[in-house]
Structure 1
Amino acid sequence: MRKAFYAFLILLGCVLLAFKVQQVTMPDRIADTAFKSGELLNYRLKYGLFTAAEAHLKIEDSEVNFDGKPVYHIIADGATAGSFEVFYKVRNRYESYIDKTTLLPYLYTENRHEGSWHHTDKVTFNRADDKITANSGTYPFSGKVFDFPSAYYFARNLDVSKLKIGETFDMRYFLDNGIQTLSITFIGREKIKCALGTFNCLKFNPTIIPGHIFRKNSKLYLWITDDNNRIPVKAHVEVVIGSVTMELTDAKGLKFPLNAVTK
Protein backbone atom coordinates (compact mmCIF):
# COMPACT_ATOMS: atom_id res chain seq x y z
CA MET A 1 0.00 0.00 0.00
CA ARG A 2 2.90 2.35 0.67
CA LYS A 3 3.94 1.99 -2.98
CA ALA A 4 0.43 2.76 -4.17
CA PHE A 5 0.24 5.83 -1.96
CA TYR A 6 3.66 6.98 -3.14
CA ALA A 7 2.33 6.71 -6.70
CA PHE A 8 -0.58 8.85 -5.54
CA LEU A 9 1.82 11.51 -4.26
CA ILE A 10 3.49 11.52 -7.66
CA LEU A 11 0.11 11.94 -9.33
CA LEU A 12 -0.69 14.82 -6.99
CA GLY A 13 2.70 16.35 -7.57
CA CYS A 14 2.29 16.13 -11.31
CA VAL A 15 -0.49 18.69 -11.25
CA LEU A 16 2.47 21.01 -11.79
CA LEU A 17 3.07 22.31 -15.27
CA ALA A 18 6.46 23.34 -16.70
CA PHE A 19 8.87 26.17 -16.20
CA LYS A 20 11.70 25.91 -18.73
CA VAL A 21 9.81 25.69 -22.00
CA GLN A 22 10.46 28.75 -24.14
CA GLN A 23 6.80 29.12 -25.12
CA VAL A 24 5.75 29.53 -21.47
CA THR A 25 6.52 32.88 -19.87
CA MET A 26 7.31 32.78 -16.15
CA PRO A 27 6.16 36.13 -14.79
CA ASP A 28 7.98 37.72 -11.84
CA ARG A 29 4.73 39.21 -10.61
CA ILE A 30 1.19 37.94 -11.06
CA ALA A 31 -1.43 40.65 -10.98
CA ASP A 32 -4.51 38.45 -11.37
CA THR A 33 -4.34 34.84 -10.16
CA ALA A 34 -6.38 31.88 -11.41
CA PHE A 35 -7.50 31.15 -7.86
CA LYS A 36 -8.66 32.98 -4.75
CA SER A 37 -8.40 32.48 -1.02
CA GLY A 38 -10.89 29.90 0.21
CA GLU A 39 -10.56 27.51 -2.72
CA LEU A 40 -10.87 23.82 -1.75
CA LEU A 41 -10.24 20.85 -4.05
CA ASN A 42 -10.97 17.24 -3.09
CA TYR A 43 -9.55 14.15 -4.80
CA ARG A 44 -10.06 10.42 -4.61
CA LEU A 45 -7.36 7.82 -5.25
CA LYS A 46 -8.44 4.49 -6.69
CA TYR A 47 -6.16 1.46 -6.75
CA GLY A 48 -7.79 -0.63 -9.44
CA LEU A 49 -11.50 -0.65 -8.58
CA PHE A 50 -11.05 0.22 -4.90
CA THR A 51 -10.91 3.63 -3.23
CA ALA A 52 -7.55 3.70 -1.47
CA ALA A 53 -7.07 7.31 -0.33
CA GLU A 54 -8.37 10.85 -0.38
CA ALA A 55 -6.60 14.20 -0.70
CA HIS A 56 -7.60 17.80 -0.08
CA LEU A 57 -5.96 20.99 -1.39
CA LYS A 58 -6.83 24.27 0.29
CA ILE A 59 -5.50 27.83 -0.01
CA GLU A 60 -6.24 30.61 2.44
CA ASP A 61 -4.92 33.96 3.65
CA SER A 62 -2.15 33.59 6.20
CA GLU A 63 -2.12 35.41 9.51
CA VAL A 64 1.68 35.30 9.38
CA ASN A 65 3.74 37.61 7.12
CA PHE A 66 7.18 36.86 5.70
CA ASP A 67 9.67 39.68 5.11
CA GLY A 68 6.80 42.00 5.95
CA LYS A 69 4.78 40.77 2.95
CA PRO A 70 1.33 39.13 2.94
CA VAL A 71 1.27 35.46 1.96
CA TYR A 72 -1.08 32.63 1.09
CA HIS A 73 -1.13 29.47 3.19
CA ILE A 74 -1.49 26.24 1.20
CA ILE A 75 -2.52 23.02 2.93
CA ALA A 76 -2.47 19.60 1.23
CA ASP A 77 -3.71 16.59 3.18
CA GLY A 78 -3.61 12.95 2.10
CA ALA A 79 -5.00 9.91 3.95
CA THR A 80 -5.88 6.30 3.24
CA ALA A 81 -9.57 5.39 3.17
CA GLY A 82 -11.84 2.38 3.48
CA SER A 83 -10.35 -1.08 3.92
CA PHE A 84 -6.87 0.24 3.07
CA GLU A 85 -6.84 1.79 6.55
CA VAL A 86 -6.54 -1.72 7.98
CA PHE A 87 -3.50 -2.72 5.88
CA TYR A 88 -1.55 0.51 5.74
CA LYS A 89 -2.70 3.69 7.48
CA VAL A 90 -1.45 6.99 6.03
CA ARG A 91 -1.86 10.53 7.37
CA ASN A 92 0.21 13.09 5.45
CA ARG A 93 0.14 16.89 5.53
CA TYR A 94 2.08 19.30 3.33
CA GLU A 95 2.02 23.07 3.87
CA SER A 96 3.50 25.97 1.95
CA TYR A 97 3.56 29.73 2.50
CA ILE A 98 3.82 31.70 -0.74
CA ASP A 99 4.18 35.38 -1.60
CA LYS A 100 0.86 36.83 -2.78
CA THR A 101 2.52 38.76 -5.60
CA THR A 102 5.19 36.40 -6.93
CA LEU A 103 3.65 33.12 -5.66
CA LEU A 104 7.16 31.96 -4.73
CA PRO A 105 7.50 29.93 -1.51
CA TYR A 106 9.01 31.18 1.73
CA LEU A 107 8.42 28.08 3.83
CA TYR A 108 7.42 24.48 3.22
CA THR A 109 6.70 21.81 5.83
CA GLU A 110 5.65 18.19 5.67
CA ASN A 111 4.46 15.75 8.32
CA ARG A 112 4.11 12.19 7.02
CA HIS A 113 2.79 9.16 8.87
CA GLU A 114 2.81 6.05 6.68
CA GLY A 115 2.29 2.88 8.67
CA SER A 116 4.98 2.82 11.38
CA TRP A 117 7.17 5.24 9.38
CA HIS A 118 7.17 8.93 10.34
CA HIS A 119 8.96 11.77 8.59
CA THR A 120 8.94 15.55 9.06
CA ASP A 121 10.73 18.31 7.19
CA LYS A 122 10.97 22.08 7.31
CA VAL A 123 12.24 23.84 4.19
CA THR A 124 13.00 27.55 3.93
CA PHE A 125 13.67 29.35 0.64
CA ASN A 126 16.19 32.17 1.06
CA ARG A 127 16.20 33.89 -2.32
CA ALA A 128 18.52 36.69 -1.22
CA ASP A 129 21.29 34.11 -0.71
CA ASP A 130 19.99 31.57 -3.28
CA LYS A 131 19.91 28.83 -0.66
CA ILE A 132 17.34 26.28 0.42
CA THR A 133 17.62 25.05 4.00
CA ALA A 134 15.98 21.77 4.98
CA ASN A 135 16.37 19.27 7.81
CA SER A 136 18.80 17.33 5.62
CA GLY A 137 21.09 20.32 4.90
CA THR A 138 21.54 23.46 2.82
CA TYR A 139 21.25 23.47 -0.98
CA PRO A 140 22.23 26.22 -3.44
CA PHE A 141 19.81 27.05 -6.25
CA SER A 142 19.17 29.56 -8.99
CA GLY A 143 16.04 30.71 -10.76
CA LYS A 144 12.54 29.70 -9.75
CA VAL A 145 12.43 26.55 -7.60
CA PHE A 146 9.29 25.43 -5.78
CA ASP A 147 7.93 22.82 -3.45
CA PHE A 148 5.05 20.65 -4.67
CA PRO A 149 2.16 22.80 -3.36
CA SER A 150 3.59 26.17 -4.40
CA ALA A 151 4.55 24.89 -7.86
CA TYR A 152 0.99 23.80 -8.49
CA TYR A 153 -0.54 27.18 -7.67
CA PHE A 154 2.14 29.06 -9.60
CA ALA A 155 1.73 26.83 -12.65
CA ARG A 156 -1.98 27.51 -12.88
CA ASN A 157 -1.15 31.11 -13.85
CA LEU A 158 1.15 30.30 -16.76
CA ASP A 159 0.09 30.92 -20.34
CA VAL A 160 0.31 27.53 -22.08
CA SER A 161 -1.74 28.54 -25.11
CA LYS A 162 1.30 28.27 -27.42
CA LEU A 163 2.28 24.72 -26.45
CA LYS A 164 2.46 22.30 -29.37
CA ILE A 165 1.55 18.62 -29.28
CA GLY A 166 4.62 16.51 -28.59
CA GLU A 167 6.58 19.34 -27.01
CA THR A 168 8.58 18.28 -23.95
CA PHE A 169 9.68 20.57 -21.14
CA ASP A 170 10.99 20.50 -17.56
CA MET A 171 9.95 21.73 -14.13
CA ARG A 172 12.02 22.06 -10.95
CA TYR A 173 11.01 21.52 -7.34
CA PHE A 174 12.69 20.72 -4.02
CA LEU A 175 11.85 17.41 -2.34
CA ASP A 176 13.53 15.45 0.48
CA ASN A 177 17.22 16.20 -0.06
CA GLY A 178 17.63 18.02 -3.34
CA ILE A 179 16.22 19.83 -6.34
CA GLN A 180 14.42 17.47 -8.71
CA THR A 181 13.61 17.87 -12.39
CA LEU A 182 10.56 16.34 -14.05
CA SER A 183 10.16 16.19 -17.84
CA ILE A 184 6.61 16.57 -19.18
CA THR A 185 5.20 16.14 -22.67
CA PHE A 186 2.09 17.93 -23.92
CA ILE A 187 -0.20 15.31 -25.52
CA GLY A 188 -3.13 17.44 -26.65
CA ARG A 189 -6.72 18.17 -25.66
CA GLU A 190 -9.43 15.72 -24.59
CA LYS A 191 -12.85 15.66 -22.96
CA ILE A 192 -12.56 13.91 -19.58
CA LYS A 193 -15.34 12.68 -17.31
CA CYS A 194 -15.07 12.81 -13.52
CA ALA A 195 -17.46 12.91 -10.57
CA LEU A 196 -18.33 16.56 -11.33
CA GLY A 197 -19.09 16.07 -15.02
CA THR A 198 -17.25 16.13 -18.35
CA PHE A 199 -14.69 18.85 -19.02
CA ASN A 200 -12.43 20.09 -21.81
CA CYS A 201 -8.90 19.29 -20.65
CA LEU A 202 -5.23 19.67 -21.51
CA LYS A 203 -3.46 16.29 -21.45
CA PHE A 204 0.15 15.81 -20.28
CA ASN A 205 2.53 12.85 -20.00
CA PRO A 206 5.11 13.32 -17.19
CA THR A 207 8.16 11.05 -17.39
CA ILE A 208 8.47 8.42 -14.67
CA ILE A 209 11.44 6.30 -13.64
CA PRO A 210 10.95 2.49 -13.68
CA GLY A 211 11.71 0.73 -10.42
CA HIS A 212 9.97 -0.77 -7.41
CA ILE A 213 6.75 1.14 -8.10
CA PHE A 214 6.51 1.50 -11.89
CA ARG A 215 6.98 -0.95 -14.72
CA LYS A 216 9.49 -0.29 -17.48
CA ASN A 217 6.71 0.68 -19.90
CA SER A 218 4.41 2.40 -17.36
CA LYS A 219 2.66 5.53 -18.59
CA LEU A 220 1.54 8.48 -16.48
CA TYR A 221 -1.15 10.84 -17.81
CA LEU A 222 -2.56 14.02 -16.34
CA TRP A 223 -5.63 16.01 -17.42
CA ILE A 224 -6.08 19.69 -16.44
CA THR A 225 -9.15 21.80 -17.17
CA ASP A 226 -8.71 23.93 -20.29
CA ASP A 227 -10.28 27.02 -18.71
CA ASN A 228 -9.33 29.90 -16.44
CA ASN A 229 -9.17 27.64 -13.37
CA ARG A 230 -6.57 25.16 -14.70
CA ILE A 231 -7.24 22.54 -12.06
CA PRO A 232 -6.35 18.83 -12.41
CA VAL A 233 -9.40 16.68 -13.09
CA LYS A 234 -7.79 13.27 -13.44
CA ALA A 235 -4.44 11.46 -13.40
CA HIS A 236 -3.66 7.83 -14.18
CA VAL A 237 -0.51 5.73 -13.84
CA GLU A 238 0.33 2.05 -14.23
CA VAL A 239 2.21 0.49 -11.32
CA VAL A 240 3.95 -2.87 -10.93
CA ILE A 241 0.64 -4.51 -10.08
CA GLY A 242 -2.44 -2.79 -11.46
CA SER A 243 -2.97 0.95 -11.84
CA VAL A 244 -3.65 4.05 -9.74
CA THR A 245 -6.13 6.78 -10.69
CA MET A 246 -6.68 10.18 -9.09
CA GLU A 247 -9.98 11.96 -9.74
CA LEU A 248 -11.47 15.30 -8.74
CA THR A 249 -14.55 14.73 -6.56
CA ASP A 250 -15.40 18.26 -5.38
CA ALA A 251 -14.35 21.85 -5.97
CA LYS A 252 -15.43 24.79 -3.83
CA GLY A 253 -14.56 28.48 -3.72
CA LEU A 254 -13.29 28.62 -7.30
CA LYS A 255 -12.58 32.04 -8.75
CA PHE A 256 -14.12 31.11 -12.10
CA PRO A 257 -17.08 28.85 -12.99
CA LEU A 258 -16.22 25.19 -13.56
CA ASN A 259 -18.47 24.49 -16.51
CA ALA A 260 -19.05 20.95 -17.64
CA VAL A 261 -19.52 20.36 -21.37
CA THR A 262 -21.95 18.19 -23.25
CA LYS A 263 -20.59 15.29 -25.25
Structure 2
Amino acid sequence: MKKYYLAFLLLICLPRVYGQEASKTDAVVFQAGEQITYKLRYGIFTAAEAIIKTENSTQKFDGKPALRIHAIANTAGTFNLLFKVRNQYQTFINPTTLLPYYYSEERKEGGYKHNDKVIFDRDKNIITANSGTYPFTGNVFDFLSAYYFARNVDISGLRINDKLDLRYFLEDGVHTLTITYLGKEQIKCGLGTFNCLKFSPTIIPGRIFRKNSKLYLWITDDKNRIPVKAHVELVVGSLVMDLTQASGLKYALNPVKK
Protein backbone atom coordinates (compact mmCIF):
# COMPACT_ATOMS: atom_id res chain seq x y z
CA MET A 1 0.00 0.00 0.00
CA LYS A 2 1.48 3.33 -1.01
CA LYS A 3 2.03 5.79 1.84
CA TYR A 4 0.29 9.01 0.81
CA TYR A 5 0.75 10.69 4.17
CA LEU A 6 -0.83 14.09 3.65
CA ALA A 7 -3.96 12.60 2.12
CA PHE A 8 -4.14 10.22 5.09
CA LEU A 9 -3.99 13.15 7.49
CA LEU A 10 -6.50 15.18 5.50
CA LEU A 11 -9.03 12.38 5.97
CA ILE A 12 -7.84 11.20 9.36
CA CYS A 13 -11.28 11.85 10.80
CA LEU A 14 -12.99 9.39 8.44
CA PRO A 15 -12.40 5.72 9.09
CA ARG A 16 -11.09 5.57 12.60
CA VAL A 17 -13.70 5.22 15.23
CA TYR A 18 -15.39 1.95 16.06
CA GLY A 19 -15.24 -1.82 15.83
CA GLN A 20 -15.60 -3.86 12.65
CA GLU A 21 -18.66 -5.86 13.69
CA ALA A 22 -20.14 -3.35 16.14
CA SER A 23 -23.90 -2.95 15.99
CA LYS A 24 -25.46 0.12 14.40
CA THR A 25 -28.01 2.26 16.19
CA ASP A 26 -31.55 2.14 14.82
CA ALA A 27 -31.68 5.85 13.94
CA VAL A 28 -29.27 7.19 11.30
CA VAL A 29 -27.63 10.31 12.75
CA PHE A 30 -26.99 12.16 9.49
CA GLN A 31 -29.06 13.18 6.48
CA ALA A 32 -28.76 14.27 2.87
CA GLY A 33 -27.67 17.89 2.68
CA GLU A 34 -25.06 17.67 5.40
CA GLN A 35 -21.74 19.43 4.70
CA ILE A 36 -18.71 19.40 7.00
CA THR A 37 -15.42 21.28 6.56
CA TYR A 38 -12.07 20.64 8.26
CA LYS A 39 -8.81 22.56 8.20
CA LEU A 40 -5.43 20.95 8.74
CA ARG A 41 -2.85 23.07 10.56
CA TYR A 42 0.90 22.60 10.86
CA GLY A 43 1.91 24.88 13.71
CA ILE A 44 0.32 28.26 13.02
CA PHE A 45 -0.04 27.58 9.29
CA THR A 46 -3.12 26.25 7.47
CA ALA A 47 -1.83 23.32 5.45
CA ALA A 48 -4.99 21.97 3.84
CA GLU A 49 -8.78 21.79 3.82
CA ALA A 50 -11.22 18.90 3.48
CA ILE A 51 -14.94 19.27 2.61
CA ILE A 52 -17.39 16.36 2.93
CA LYS A 53 -20.90 16.49 1.44
CA THR A 54 -23.84 14.07 1.63
CA GLU A 55 -26.67 13.97 -0.90
CA ASN A 56 -29.39 11.72 -2.26
CA SER A 57 -28.15 9.91 -5.37
CA THR A 58 -30.10 9.60 -8.58
CA GLN A 59 -28.09 6.44 -9.26
CA LYS A 60 -29.43 3.13 -7.93
CA PHE A 61 -27.60 -0.11 -7.20
CA ASP A 62 -29.46 -3.38 -7.83
CA GLY A 63 -32.59 -1.24 -7.95
CA LYS A 64 -31.95 0.12 -4.46
CA PRO A 65 -31.60 3.80 -3.50
CA ALA A 66 -28.26 5.19 -2.41
CA LEU A 67 -26.71 8.12 -0.61
CA ARG A 68 -23.69 9.74 -2.27
CA ILE A 69 -20.92 11.06 -0.05
CA HIS A 70 -18.30 13.24 -1.72
CA ALA A 71 -15.05 14.54 -0.19
CA ILE A 72 -12.50 17.00 -1.54
CA ALA A 73 -9.08 17.37 0.11
CA ASN A 74 -6.71 20.13 -1.07
CA THR A 75 -3.53 21.68 0.25
CA ALA A 76 -3.55 25.44 0.86
CA GLY A 77 -1.20 28.42 0.59
CA THR A 78 2.54 27.76 0.53
CA PHE A 79 1.95 24.04 1.10
CA ASN A 80 0.91 23.90 -2.56
CA LEU A 81 4.53 24.72 -3.38
CA LEU A 82 5.92 22.09 -1.01
CA PHE A 83 3.58 19.20 -1.81
CA LYS A 84 0.43 20.02 -3.76
CA VAL A 85 -2.58 17.77 -3.11
CA ARG A 86 -5.81 17.73 -5.12
CA ASN A 87 -7.83 14.69 -4.08
CA GLN A 88 -11.47 13.68 -4.58
CA TYR A 89 -13.28 10.72 -3.05
CA GLN A 90 -16.87 9.49 -3.36
CA THR A 91 -18.84 6.57 -2.03
CA PHE A 92 -22.40 5.35 -2.63
CA ILE A 93 -23.95 3.69 0.42
CA ASN A 94 -27.15 1.92 1.35
CA PRO A 95 -29.13 4.55 3.35
CA THR A 96 -30.36 1.89 5.80
CA THR A 97 -27.36 -0.40 6.41
CA LEU A 98 -24.79 2.32 5.54
CA LEU A 99 -22.63 -0.30 3.79
CA PRO A 100 -20.95 0.81 0.54
CA TYR A 101 -21.98 -0.25 -2.94
CA TYR A 102 -19.28 1.60 -4.85
CA TYR A 103 -16.26 3.80 -4.06
CA SER A 104 -13.94 5.86 -6.27
CA GLU A 105 -11.00 8.18 -5.76
CA GLU A 106 -8.89 10.54 -7.85
CA ARG A 107 -5.64 11.51 -6.13
CA LYS A 108 -3.02 14.01 -7.24
CA GLU A 109 -0.27 14.28 -4.64
CA GLY A 110 2.87 16.05 -5.78
CA GLY A 111 3.97 14.17 -8.87
CA TYR A 112 1.98 11.07 -7.93
CA LYS A 113 -1.41 10.33 -9.48
CA HIS A 114 -3.76 7.48 -8.65
CA ASN A 115 -7.33 6.60 -9.62
CA ASP A 116 -9.33 3.72 -8.25
CA LYS A 117 -12.83 2.31 -8.63
CA VAL A 118 -14.06 -0.20 -6.06
CA ILE A 119 -17.19 -2.36 -6.23
CA PHE A 120 -18.47 -4.16 -3.11
CA ASP A 121 -20.37 -7.31 -4.15
CA ARG A 122 -22.00 -8.49 -0.93
CA ASP A 123 -23.79 -11.42 -2.59
CA LYS A 124 -20.47 -12.97 -3.63
CA ASN A 125 -18.35 -11.34 -0.84
CA ILE A 126 -15.93 -9.99 -3.43
CA ILE A 127 -14.37 -6.53 -3.72
CA THR A 128 -13.35 -5.56 -7.25
CA ALA A 129 -10.83 -2.72 -7.60
CA ASN A 130 -8.42 -1.53 -10.27
CA SER A 131 -5.69 -3.65 -8.66
CA GLY A 132 -7.71 -6.90 -8.69
CA THR A 133 -10.37 -8.81 -6.76
CA TYR A 134 -10.37 -9.44 -3.02
CA PRO A 135 -12.59 -11.77 -0.95
CA PHE A 136 -14.04 -10.48 2.31
CA THR A 137 -16.48 -11.35 5.07
CA GLY A 138 -18.48 -9.18 7.45
CA ASN A 139 -18.47 -5.40 7.40
CA VAL A 140 -15.75 -3.87 5.23
CA PHE A 141 -15.76 -0.20 4.26
CA ASP A 142 -13.92 2.45 2.30
CA PHE A 143 -12.72 5.78 3.77
CA LEU A 144 -16.01 7.62 3.54
CA SER A 145 -18.50 4.87 4.27
CA ALA A 146 -16.42 3.89 7.32
CA TYR A 147 -16.74 7.39 8.73
CA TYR A 148 -20.50 7.54 8.30
CA PHE A 149 -21.08 4.03 9.60
CA ALA A 150 -18.86 4.81 12.59
CA ARG A 151 -20.99 7.77 13.55
CA ASN A 152 -23.94 5.39 13.92
CA VAL A 153 -22.35 2.69 16.07
CA ASP A 154 -23.85 1.93 19.49
CA ILE A 155 -21.14 2.95 21.96
CA SER A 156 -23.19 2.67 25.14
CA GLY A 157 -21.12 -0.28 26.36
CA LEU A 158 -17.67 1.23 25.78
CA ARG A 159 -15.29 1.43 28.73
CA ILE A 160 -11.99 3.29 29.02
CA ASN A 161 -9.10 1.43 27.34
CA ASP A 162 -11.44 -0.82 25.34
CA LYS A 163 -9.83 -1.63 21.99
CA LEU A 164 -11.87 -1.79 18.82
CA ASP A 165 -11.09 -2.80 15.24
CA LEU A 166 -12.26 -1.38 11.93
CA ARG A 167 -11.74 -3.11 8.58
CA TYR A 168 -11.51 -1.04 5.43
CA PHE A 169 -10.42 -1.56 1.83
CA LEU A 170 -7.62 0.65 0.55
CA GLU A 171 -5.94 0.29 -2.83
CA ASP A 172 -4.47 -3.21 -2.49
CA GLY A 173 -6.51 -5.10 0.09
CA VAL A 174 -8.51 -5.16 3.30
CA HIS A 175 -6.72 -3.64 6.29
CA THR A 176 -7.49 -3.48 10.00
CA LEU A 177 -6.99 -0.50 12.29
CA THR A 178 -7.11 -0.76 16.09
CA ILE A 179 -8.54 2.10 18.13
CA THR A 180 -8.42 2.63 21.91
CA TYR A 181 -11.21 4.48 23.71
CA LEU A 182 -9.77 6.96 26.24
CA GLY A 183 -12.89 8.42 27.84
CA LYS A 184 -14.68 11.77 27.75
CA GLU A 185 -13.15 15.23 27.45
CA GLN A 186 -14.13 18.78 26.53
CA ILE A 187 -12.32 20.03 23.41
CA LYS A 188 -12.29 23.34 21.56
CA CYS A 189 -12.53 23.57 17.77
CA GLY A 190 -13.37 26.25 15.23
CA LEU A 191 -17.08 26.02 16.07
CA GLY A 192 -16.77 26.19 19.85
CA THR A 193 -16.14 23.87 22.79
CA PHE A 194 -17.84 20.46 22.83
CA ASN A 195 -18.24 17.49 25.14
CA CYS A 196 -16.40 14.73 23.29
CA LEU A 197 -15.41 11.09 23.26
CA LYS A 198 -11.64 10.64 22.93
CA PHE A 199 -9.98 7.88 20.87
CA SER A 200 -6.41 6.92 19.98
CA PRO A 201 -5.95 5.02 16.68
CA THR A 202 -2.74 3.09 16.15
CA ILE A 203 0.09 4.60 14.09
CA ILE A 204 2.70 2.83 11.98
CA PRO A 205 6.12 4.53 12.49
CA GLY A 206 7.95 5.68 9.39
CA ARG A 207 9.34 8.72 7.62
CA ILE A 208 6.67 11.02 9.01
CA PHE A 209 5.73 9.45 12.38
CA ARG A 210 8.06 8.78 15.30
CA LYS A 211 8.13 5.39 16.99
CA ASN A 212 6.25 6.82 19.96
CA SER A 213 4.00 9.23 18.02
CA LYS A 214 0.44 9.52 19.30
CA LEU A 215 -2.75 10.20 17.38
CA TYR A 216 -5.81 11.50 19.22
CA LEU A 217 -9.31 11.97 17.83
CA TRP A 218 -12.26 13.71 19.50
CA ILE A 219 -15.90 12.95 18.54
CA THR A 220 -18.89 14.96 19.75
CA ASP A 221 -20.68 13.19 22.58
CA ASP A 222 -24.12 13.91 21.15
CA LYS A 223 -26.48 12.60 18.47
CA ASN A 224 -24.31 13.93 15.61
CA ARG A 225 -21.11 12.03 16.53
CA ILE A 226 -19.00 14.41 14.43
CA PRO A 227 -15.20 14.36 14.69
CA VAL A 228 -14.29 17.90 15.77
CA LYS A 229 -10.52 17.60 16.20
CA ALA A 230 -7.57 15.28 15.57
CA HIS A 231 -3.97 15.73 16.73
CA VAL A 232 -1.00 13.69 15.54
CA GLU A 233 2.68 13.96 16.45
CA LEU A 234 5.21 13.95 13.59
CA VAL A 235 8.96 13.47 13.40
CA VAL A 236 9.10 17.27 13.39
CA GLY A 237 6.19 19.14 14.96
CA SER A 238 2.55 18.07 14.84
CA LEU A 239 -0.60 18.36 12.75
CA VAL A 240 -4.06 19.36 13.96
CA MET A 241 -7.34 18.68 12.14
CA ASP A 242 -10.05 21.15 13.17
CA LEU A 243 -13.78 21.33 12.41
CA THR A 244 -14.51 24.78 10.95
CA GLN A 245 -17.95 24.46 9.33
CA ALA A 246 -21.02 22.24 9.62
CA SER A 247 -24.39 22.74 7.91
CA GLY A 248 -27.43 20.66 7.02
CA LEU A 249 -27.03 18.55 10.17
CA LYS A 250 -29.87 16.31 11.30
CA TYR A 251 -29.39 17.52 14.87
CA ALA A 252 -28.29 20.95 16.06
CA LEU A 253 -24.74 21.26 17.33
CA ASN A 254 -24.63 21.79 21.07
CA PRO A 255 -21.44 23.57 22.13
CA VAL A 256 -20.69 24.00 25.81
CA LYS A 257 -21.94 27.33 27.12
CA LYS A 258 -19.33 29.31 29.02
State which of 206, 223, 226 in structure 1 corresponds to 2:221. 226
Q: 1:61-210 residue pairs with structure 2 within 5 A? A: 61-210=56-205
- Could you tell me which residue of structure 2 aligns to residue 216 of structure 1? 211
Between the two proteins, what is the percent identity of the paired residues? Answer: 57
Question: How far, CA to CA, are the matches of 2:80 and 2:69 in structure 1?
Answer: 26
SS at match of 1:151: helix
Contact 1:54 1:81 (8 Å CA) reproduced: yes
User: How much does 1:10 deviate?
Assistant: 5.6
SS at match of 2:219: strand
- Could you tell me which residue of structure 1 aligns to residue 47 of structure 2? 52
Q: 1:35-50 residue pairs with structure 2 within 5 A? A: 35-50=30-45
- Could you tell me which amino acid in structure 1 is paired with residue 153 of structure 2? L
User: How much does 1:7 deviate?
Assistant: 4.6
SS at match of 2:144: helix
SS at match of 2:13: helix
Q: CA RMSD in A?
A: 1.5
- Could you tell me which residue of structure 1 aligns to residue 246 of structure 2? 251
Cα 1:125–1:14 change in 2 (3 A) is closer
- Ranges in structure 2 where 5+ consecutive residues have no aligned partner: none
User: How much does 1:208 deviate?
Assistant: 0.7
Question: How far, CA to CA, are the matches of 2:161 and 2:31 in structure 1?
Answer: 32
- Could you tell me which residue of structure 2 aligns to residue 18 of structure 1? 19
Question: How far, CA to CA, are the matches of 2:227 and 2:26 in structure 1?
Answer: 22
Question: How far, CA to CA, are the matches of 1:146 and 1:176 in structure 2?
Answer: 12
Contact 1:31 1:101 (8 Å CA) reproduced: no
- Could you tell me which amino acid in structure 2 is paired with residue 98 of structure 1? I
Cα 1:15–1:248 change in 2 (3 A) is farther
User: How much does 1:154 deviate?
Assistant: 0.9
Contact 2:37 2:246 (8 Å CA) reproduced: yes
User: How much does 1:18 deviate?
Assistant: 2.2
Question: How far, CA to CA, are the matches of 1:36 and 1:3 in structure 2?
Answer: 30
User: How much does 1:117 deviate?
Assistant: 1.1
User: How much does 1:52 deviate?
Assistant: 0.3
Cα 1:3–1:127 change in 2 (3 A) is closer
User: How much does 1:172 deviate?
Assistant: 0.4
User: How much does 1:88 deviate?
Assistant: 1.8
User: How much does 1:15 deviate?
Assistant: 4.4
Between Structure 1 and Structure 2, how many residues are aligned?
256
Question: How far, CA to CA, are the matches of 1:53 and 1:149 in structure 2?
Answer: 18
Question: How far, CA to CA, are the matches of 2:5 and 2:91 in structure 1?
Answer: 24
User: How much does 1:170 deviate?
Assistant: 0.6
User: How much does 1:5 deviate?
Assistant: 1.3
CA offset digits 1:99-147 (Å, max 9, x no partner)? 1111110100000011121100000000110000000000000001000
CA offset digits 1:58-110 (Å, max 9, x no partner)? 11000100000000000011000111112221100010000111111010000
Give me the TM-score of the superposition, normalised by structure 2: 0.95
Cα 1:258–1:195 change in 2 (3 A) is same
User: How much does 1:4 deviate?
Assistant: 5.6
